[in-house]
Amino acid sequence: MRKEVPETARRVLENEPYARVNDGYLIRRVVEILEPDLYKNDFKKVMDNIQYLGISAESITRARRKYLQENPQYKVDKTEKARRLEEEKYFIEYSNHIPSVI
């Protein structure tokens, strides 16, 4: 992995609020900044070749999660609410499968 990938992702997240919400936009902007010549190609060619250039979509999204963990004031309320509801559903489902010992 290239060292400038997380740094670039952080810069984009700081300067462009839409990148905090949309992973696809964030990945596109990071590729556009780091590899402008590759970015001019079609989507298939970009996605086939970014792995050979040391750019990983997973590392970009990991940088976003880390950024939002360090800066919770930038978390999107709608996304956070959806995550909490899913977590609550998981715990309810999990509790239904715990055998009682009584």
Contact 69, 88 (CB under 8 A): no
Give the pLDDT confidence of 54-91 residue by residue, as tens digits. 888 899 999 999 998 898 888 777 767 777 888 888 88
pLDDT at 36 over 80: yes
pLDDT at 95 over 80: no
Output the pTM of the full model: 0.70
pLDDT at 12 over 90: yes
- Residue 101's pLDDT band (cuts 50, 70, 90): low
All structural domains of the chain with their residue ranges: 4-74
Q: Which of 48, 50, 62 is nearest to 13 (CA)?
A: 62
